């Protein structure tokens, strides 16, 4: 973050400086007192379970000399040299500060959302942007109503283009994020079933994701998955903005075809755009990533990047977190794809497993969360697909994954090739009893299962 003075922050959030120097400087922002350091602005947010005001003294002790607070009576908990800006709500003030801050810069902003694939697509876009611009990106999973503002505040005036991830679990959230960031290009990876438990229908998920184009005019672009049935309903003749469609569909503006799964060596595919066609080979695993690459290419093409830079950028991607990464664990190799899961990505990961090198192919699967009414059908679908693949062993964990096992058996998988455990920890205690030298193990589940913790057990 570029340096901001207390008076600037107070003006930006329409707050009142009730204590300290108007010239006090903040060089970064934090919302967790444990991570506070010298030069930070501490935002004392009030949540369902925690009240940041209780940690003002801890933030001060860690070096913070400026804070956003909403409870004036808590001012007495920190020494008088701490600049305090009083606001109605610290989270809203953080959002307003980030909106004011980012609006000062002349940079292209690409926003990415979608049910699955948004972080990978974001990483791909960033890899491409770096070929033509001084670029910035969201870090880790900072894509929420608090996380995205922190992302925006991490950018600076030297950046010419940035990519921002937007997440949601309710209607209206992306609307607010879009109002704050005001992107030039929006990317929607797909309309899947994640968050169905909270939003009820795919139509509501579609409505929530489409909030990303609120305020768009003819100068703005929406990059949409050409293979998604709901995104296909957007009529380009009835919207104010421009639409670029990317995918396998014949009429896609940026099209992928001849996708080849190379297992642990990655994927290869033809990428066609504007009359140009290139055979692309990426080091990242998973057939579904060909579509993510097309979406990233389309987004960067919309802001004027050339095809050569797009291709070279894609080939230089660095993935965030546990997403189809290859890990060596002694005499066993692991495909760690434990960051998140949906039916399509789980099936794709299983296909990658069987295409990769290994004496035995072992899948360790736990549940897929937030699928609502389609949860059972989605888990059964994965089980049916797993039964068609040449797996040597499938280990399932928890109640939801037991449905995967049941469906695999009904589709013909041998029971002798299956094991089930009630919890990750129960498996961790004995997993090495079932592994042999040369095995290749896939870890795949929703984030809450933290299957990546099995890696340490396998390494022992």
CATH number assigned to the domain comprising residue 17: 3.40.1390.10
Concatenating the DSSP letter of every residue in 242-307 gives EEEEEESSTT-SEEEEEEEE-GGG-EEEEEEETTEEEEEEESS--TTHHHHHHHHHHHHHHTT--H
CA atoms within 13 A on the CB side of 53: 18
CATH number assigned to the domain comprising residue 384: 3.90.190.20
pLDDT of residue 247: 97
pLDDT of residue 460: 75
Share of the chain above pLDDT 90, in %: 86
Q: How many helices (H) and strands (E) does the chain have?
A: 15, 22
Same domain as 287, residue 167: yes
Share of the chain above pLDDT 70, in %: 99
State the chain's mean pLDDT as an integer.
Answer: 95
Domain boundary among 36, 53, 88: 88
The pLDDT confidence band at residue 270, using thresholds 50, 70 and 90, is very high
Encode pLDDT of 163-176 as tens digits: 999 999 899 999 99
The pLDDT confidence band at residue 325, using thresholds 50, 70 and 90, is confident
Rounded to whole angstroms, how far apart are CA atoms 199 and 178?
Answer: 19
Same domain as 201, residue 233: yes
pLDDT of residue 321: 62
Q: What is the DSSP letter of 218?
A: T
Q: Is residue 98 part of a domain?
A: no
How far is CA 361 from its chain centroid? 28
DSSP bridge partners of 29: 41
CATH number assigned to the domain comprising residue 239: 3.40.1190.10
pLDDT of residue 116: 87
CB 219 within 8 A of CB 240: no
Rounded to whole angstroms, how far apart are CA atoms 45 and 26?
Answer: 18
Domain boundary among 88, 117, 151: 88
Q: Residue-wise over 301-314: b if at least 16 C-beta within 10 A, else e? A: bbbebebebbbebb
CB 295 within 8 A of CB 121: yes
Q: What is the DSSP letter of 397?
A: E
Same domain as 56, residue 14: yes
Query: Which range of residues forms the domain containing residue 121?
Result: 105-316
CB 148 within 8 A of CB 325: no
Class of residue 428 by CB neighbours under 10 A (exposed 0-12, middle 13-18, buried 19+): middle
pLDDT of residue 322: 58
Same domain as 166, residue 199: yes
- The total number of structural domains that make up the chain: 3
Same domain as 67, residue 166: no
Residue 32 structure tokens:
């967790």
Of the given ranges (7-11, 64-68, 370-374), which has the lowest mean pLDDT? 370-374
According to DSSP, the β-strands at 254-261 and 267-273 are antiparallel
Residue 275 has pLDDT above 90, yes or no: no
According to DSSP, the β-strands at 332-337 and 325-329 are antiparallel
Same domain as 64, residue 15: yes
Concatenating the DSSP letter of every residue in 220-235 gives -EEEEETT-TTGGG--
- Residue whose structure tokens are 């933030």: 59
Same domain as 151, residue 257: yes
Same domain as 122, residue 83: no
Same domain as 245, residue 191: yes
Q: Is residue 95 part of a domain?
A: no
Residues near 333 by beta carbon (within 8 Å), at least 6 away in sequence: 264, 326, 327, 358, 439, 440, 441
Concatenating the DSSP letter of every residue in 28-58 gives EEES-GGG--TTEEEE--B-SS-BGGGGHHH
Rounded to whole angstroms, how far apart are CA atoms 69 and 82?
Answer: 12
The torsion angle over the Cα atoms of residues 285, 289, 290 and 295, rounded to 10 degrees, is -150
pLDDT of residue 81: 96
Q: Is residue 97 part of a domain?
A: no
SS3 state at 146 = coil
pLDDT of residue 254: 97
Range 289-314 average pLDDT? 96
How far is CA 297 from its chain centroid? 18
CB 84 within 8 A of CB 21: no
Same domain as 357, residue 289: no
Q: Is residue 410 part of a domain?
A: yes
Encode pLDDT of 52-92 as tens digits: 999 999 999 999 999 999 999 999 999 999 999 999 999 99
Same domain as 429, residue 350: yes
CB atoms within 10 A of CB 74: 18
SS3 state at 125 = helix
pLDDT of residue 317: 84
Same domain as 239, residue 122: yes
Domain boundary among 316, 344, 366: 316
pTM of the model: 0.88
Encode pLDDT of 107-129 as tens digits: 999 999 998 889 999 999 999 99
């Amino acid at each position: 973050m570029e340096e901001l003075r207390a008076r600037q922050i107070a003006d930006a959030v329409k707050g009142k400086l009730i204590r300290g120097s108007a010239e006090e400087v903040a060089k970064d922002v934090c919302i967790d007192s444990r991570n506070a350091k010298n030069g930070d602005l501490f935002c004392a947010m009030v949540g369902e379970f925690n009240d940041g005001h209780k940690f003002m003294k801890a933030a001060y002790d860690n070096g913070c000399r400026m804070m956003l607070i909403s409870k004036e009576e808590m001012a007495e908990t920190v020494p008088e040299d701490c600049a305090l800006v009083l606001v109605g709500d610290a989270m809203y003030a953080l959002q307003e500060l980030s909106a004011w801050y980012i609006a000062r810069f002349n940079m292209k902003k690409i926003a990415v959302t979608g049910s699955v694939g948004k972080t990978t697509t974001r990483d791909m876009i960033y890899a491409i942007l770096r070929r033509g611009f001084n670029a910035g990106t969201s870090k880790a999973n900072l894509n929420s109503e608090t996380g995205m503002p922190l992302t925006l505040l991490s950018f600076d005036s030297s950046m010419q283009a940035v990519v921002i991830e937007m997440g949601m679990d309710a209607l209206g959230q992306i609307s607010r994020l879009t109002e704050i960031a005001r992107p030039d290009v929006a990317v929607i990876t797909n309309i899947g079933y994640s968050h169905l438990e909270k939003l009820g229908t795919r139509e509501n998920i579609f409505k929530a994701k489409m909030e990303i184009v609120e305020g768009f005019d003819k100068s703005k672009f929406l990059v949409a998955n050409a293979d998604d049935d709901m995104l296909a309903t957007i009529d380009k003749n009835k919207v104010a903005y421009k639409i670029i469609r990317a995918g396998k569909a014949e009429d896609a503006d940026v099209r992928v075809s001849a996708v080849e799964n190379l297992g642990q060596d990655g994927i290869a595919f033809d990428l066609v755009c504007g009359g140009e066609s290139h055979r692309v080979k990426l080091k990242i695993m998973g057939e579904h990533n060909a579509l993510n690459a097309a979406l990233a290419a389309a987004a960067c093409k919309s802001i004027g990047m050339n095809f050569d830079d797009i291709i070279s950028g894609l080939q230089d991607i660095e993935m965030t977190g546990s997403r189809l990464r290859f890990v060596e664990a002694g005499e066993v190799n692991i495909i760690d794809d434990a960051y998140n899961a949906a039916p399509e990505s789980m099936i794709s990961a299983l296909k990658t497993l069987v295409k990769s090198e290994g004496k035995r192919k072992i899948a360790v699967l736990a549940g897929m969360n937030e699928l609502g009414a389609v949860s059972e059908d989605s888990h059964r679908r994965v089980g049916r697909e797993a039964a068609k693949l040449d797996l040597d062993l499938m280990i399932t964990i928890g109640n939801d994954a037991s449905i995967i096992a049941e469906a695999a058996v009904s589709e013909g998988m041998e029971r002798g090739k299956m094991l089930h455990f009630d919890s990750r920890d129960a498996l961790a205690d004995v997993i090495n009893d079932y592994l042999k030298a040369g095995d290749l193990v896939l870890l795949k589940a929703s984030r809450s299962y933290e299957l990546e913790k099995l890696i340490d057990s396998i390494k022992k």
